[in-house]
Amino acid sequence: MNNPKEKIHEPLFHIVKRSKDALPLWKSWLIRAIAIVFSLLVCSVIIVLLTNQNPLEVFGALLKGSFGSERKFWNMLQNLAMLLCISLAITPAFKMKFWNLGAEGQVLIGSLCSMVLMFTVGDKIPNLVLILAMLAASILGGIIWGLIPAVFKAKWNTNESLFTLMMNYIAIQLVSFAIMVWVPSGSSVMGLVNSSTKAGWIPDIFGQKYLFNIIVVAALTVFMFVYLKSSKHGYEISVVGESENTAKYIGINVKKVIIRTMILSGAICGLAGFLLVAGTNHTISKDLAGGNGFTAIMVSWLAKFNPFVMVITSFLIAFLQRGAGEIATNFNLNTSIADILTGIIIFFIIGSEFFINYQIKTKAKKEDK
Amino acid sequence: MKKIAKILSIVLAVALVLGLAACGGKTENNGENNSENPVAAGADYSDIKFGLICLHDENSTYDNNFISAVKEVQQNLGLSDDQVLIKTNIPETEACLNAAEELVDEGCNFIFADSFGHESYILQAAQENPDVQFAHATGTHAHDAGVPNFHNAFASIYEGRYLTGVAAGLKLQEMIDSGKITADQAKVGYVGAFDYAEVKSGYTSFFLGVRSIVESATMEVVYTNSWFDIALEREAALKLINDGCVIISQHADSEGAPKACEEKGVPNVAYNINTESVAPNTALVSSRINWAPFFTLCIDSVLKGESIDADWVGTIATGSVELLGVNEKVAAEGTQAKLDEVKAQFEAGTLKVFDTSTFTVDGKTLDSYLADIDDDGTFSHETEVVSDGYFHESVYRSAPCFDIVIDGITEA
């Protein structure tokens, strides 16, 4: 009765991690492409079931959001640049496994520092001096906001996720407070600042108002790639990220690396805040960072912390966000439906990474062998 | 062989899904053609393209009020779906300028933005696109900006709020008469978004309506410091109920307060939407700015090439100020008749909401008041608005300017 063979329960399939570089590059990209095709199919079904629209037309609108006109293309590039800038900022921290969830606040503080100068001394000093002072103030503000949780982490090993997250709320309240003081009518709306004098506004380059931002972020991307890949700092960051004990063993001052890296992270967030105020919005509100401080985490992880791949992932997010708005406008739908589609596409793309990193071995295959 | 079969089955599945999808699309297209309305008699609106920029989407009662007005106009004038573009969830940043410019690119010749913070961006878009008409709700710049294609609009909603106050007052009187509360306990609560003239003007007119019926009434105001926050608005309403308020009204854009009132069985006066569906047992009445008359006026002006007023104020007479749903289940007896009577007085011009003989400030009658009308960035109060015995609200500009706390009202 007791057949020993029956006792061994053979699973239908099991999952095996692929050895590094086992999968040729073309195969990994094929898997990603298949994932996108599948995500579009699921989207099509959702579109038909929920909205009764033609999916091809909806996908057409998705494209139109970024490529429908020259202006839309530039606006998409601007969205991409700002998202990429914040993603670049958090990347060294995340690579070090320092969970900086405070980019939103660090950007806001950067914006606030720029706005303080723009609002108070905007008409009193030459524009170039003003802009440089705003830049310095923003970077300093971002550094301070990043440094506080870093010092606490290095000295007392506090939880940086909670700490940085709570710093966001302080930043938001500081911005609300500043607006309350500056706008006594109580509307809580700052409006365009210096719209007649344009003091503190970064001028158009070749007639393009966002070109400055785009160039700065492009340069920053190259810098971050080199910094992480080829500099001693970059090497130390990856060692600390892999194993703090190893880092200590080989004589890396972990505390110093944490603090130094968060200074860099905060500084770039501050720069992003400067670009948002001087180069883009010319106002301040508590929603100025627009959630990009959190979206940036996804951009950075999806790209596996490679700044050049982050250009692609931030394009993907910016493209989907703009497309979502376009779909909502063109088909008279709530933006939620477009967000659902965006979610599905991103879900499939993240899911495809699983199939790139792991192999599924089925029972049948084993028997074949 | 096995592999090929697998691939083939996947391809077939894909083809099937796409085929289904295409079918779905086709039926939709047919539906659209059928539902197109005939163009309204006498005018050809085919050249009109209307762009609407909203801060939130239809889940906000405020934005929904604009969206439904546009849809009403679209239906009335027989505009196709291509002629009405609605951009939702546009923040009060450069994104607003981008949205406006993109609408211009799409060929819109009338663009309307609904949020106060959109104004400076819309003004900029108007300066850059002089051939397109731009209008903006609740803004303050048009009367002195000198940009001919930029307009501010609002309505004498204070009259609507006064009317809802009258309904609330009748309900209070009913409570007093039935012995449920004493005259001293006649306290109403108000959930306000911000300590700002538009909100203050609104709650004061509501309160004056209440007090025209129940002289002993008082009011407590709680601010949420947000235009849309379901949880905060709910909390604020519950606090007011705890503080002894027996009727609640609000000027904030979610359904947080009406739902809290329904839970506690406290009558609620709403703004912009009829809340009977979410609060069938407590929704008393609601006032609303109907934007359809202004939109229609603007479209007609664009069509005829006529100019639009820099500052436009809708009234009861233009159909811009409306009352929604006097709920028989909640309202006191004779409410509708009384409302009709007061409404007639407004239309005849015999009743002024901010009649200075009906209220005091710090115990004194308001003989003179300098309001902050001109928006030059200084926030100086420079324009005299009290004359002929009443405060001239929405006269020197469309946006409200009544920002005084009158006796009987306490702000928490």
The whole-angstrom distance between B29's CA and the closest CA on chain A is: 8
pLDDT tens track for A185-241: 878 888 888 888 888 898 888 888 899 999 999 999 999 999 999 999 999 999 998
Q: Are residues B133 and B192 in the same domain?
A: no
Domain range for B102 is 50-137
User: Does the residue A115 lie in any domain?
Assistant: yes
User: Cβ separation of B194 and A290 shorter than 8 Å?
Assistant: no
pLDDT score for B27: 37
pLDDT tens track for A271-282: 999 999 999 999
Best to test chain B binding among A40, A44, A52 (most B CBs inside 10 Å): A44
User: Does the residue A93 lie in any domain?
Assistant: yes
pLDDT score for A268: 97
User: Does the residue A363 lie in any domain?
Assistant: no
Q: Are residues B114 and B198 in the same domain?
A: no
User: Does the residue B9 lie in any domain?
Assistant: no
User: Cβ separation of A185 and B403 shorter than 8 Å?
Assistant: yes
User: Cβ separation of B87 and A188 shorter than 8 Å?
Assistant: no
Please give the DSSP secondary-structure letter assigned to residue B63. H
CATH label of the domain that carries residue B270: 3.40.50.2300
| Candidates A53, A195, A280; nearest CB to B120 | A195
User: Does the residue B39 lie in any domain?
Assistant: no
pLDDT score for A261: 94
- Its pTM stands at 0.84
pLDDT score for B33: 37
Q: Are residues B109 and B227 in the same domain?
A: no
User: Does the residue B379 lie in any domain?
Assistant: no
Asked whether the predicted pLDDT for residue A75 surpasses 60, the reply is yes
Q: Are residues B211 and B111 in the same domain?
A: no
Average pLDDT over residues A105-129: 93
Per DSSP, helices labelled H in B78-156 are: 94-105, 119-128, 142-145
CA dist B305 and B283 (Å) reads: 43
pLDDT score for B34: 36
User: Cβ separation of B25 and A183 shorter than 8 Å?
Assistant: no
Domain boundary among B80, B102, B137: B137
Higher pLDDT residue, B312 or A364?
B312
- β-bridge partners, B383: B371
Mean pLDDT of chain B: 86
Q: Indicate the number of domains in chain B.
A: 2
Q: Are residues B234 and B349 in the same domain?
A: yes
Query: Which residue ranges in chain B fall short of pLDDT 50?
Result: 1-2, 8, 12, 16-40
pLDDT score for B16: 46
Q: Indicate the number of domains in chain A.
A: 1
Is residue B99 classed as helix, strand or coil in its secondary structure?
A: helix
User: Does the residue A95 lie in any domain?
Assistant: yes
pLDDT score for B4: 53
User: Does the residue B380 lie in any domain?
Assistant: no
pLDDT band at A309 (very low <50, low <70, confident <90, very high): very high
Q: Are residues B177 and B274 in the same domain?
A: yes
Q: Are residues B179 and B227 in the same domain?
A: yes
Q: Are residues B199 and B87 in the same domain?
A: no
**Which two tokens mark B394?**
């929405």
pLDDT tens track for A21-39: 677 888 888 988 999 899 9
CA dist B370 and B388 (Å) reads: 15
pLDDT score for B374: 81
User: Does the residue A299 lie in any domain?
Assistant: yes
User: Does the residue B149 lie in any domain?
Assistant: no
User: Does the residue A303 lie in any domain?
Assistant: yes
Q: What percent of chain B has pLDDT over 90?
A: 61
**Chain center to CA of B278:** 19
Q: Are residues B58 and B202 in the same domain?
A: no
Asked whether the predicted pLDDT for residue A4 surpasses 50, the reply is yes
Q: Are residues B114 and B81 in the same domain?
A: yes
Average pLDDT over residues A37-56: 86
Higher pLDDT residue, B334 or A53?
B334
| Candidates A54, A192, A280; nearest CB to B24 | A54
Asked whether the predicted pLDDT for residue A18 surpasses 70, the reply is yes
pLDDT band at A361 (very low <50, low <70, confident <90, very high): confident
pLDDT score for B39: 43
Q: Given its phi and psi angles, is residue A42 left (phi above 0), alpha (psi -120 to 50 degrees) or beta?
A: alpha
pLDDT score for B21: 43
Tell which B residues from 47 to 66 touch A, by Cβ distance under 8 Å. Answer: 57-59
User: Does the residue B2 lie in any domain?
Assistant: no
Q: Are residues B85 and B227 in the same domain?
A: no
pLDDT score for A89: 95
Of B62, B404, B381, B400, the C-alpha closest to B204 is: B404
The whole-angstrom distance between B380's CA and the closest CA on chain A is: 10
How far lies A294's CA from each of A84, A106, A213, in Å? 12, 12, 20
| Cβ contacts of A197 within 8 Å, gap of 6 or more | A122, A123
User: Does the residue B373 lie in any domain?
Assistant: no
User: Does the residue B41 lie in any domain?
Assistant: no
Domain range for A248 is 76-313
CA dist A96 and A244 (Å) reads: 9
Mean pLDDT of chain A: 88
Ranking A40-54, A126-140, B155-169, B393-407 by mean pLDDT, the lowest is A40-54
Q: Are residues B163 and B262 in the same domain?
A: yes
User: Does the residue A10 lie in any domain?
Assistant: no
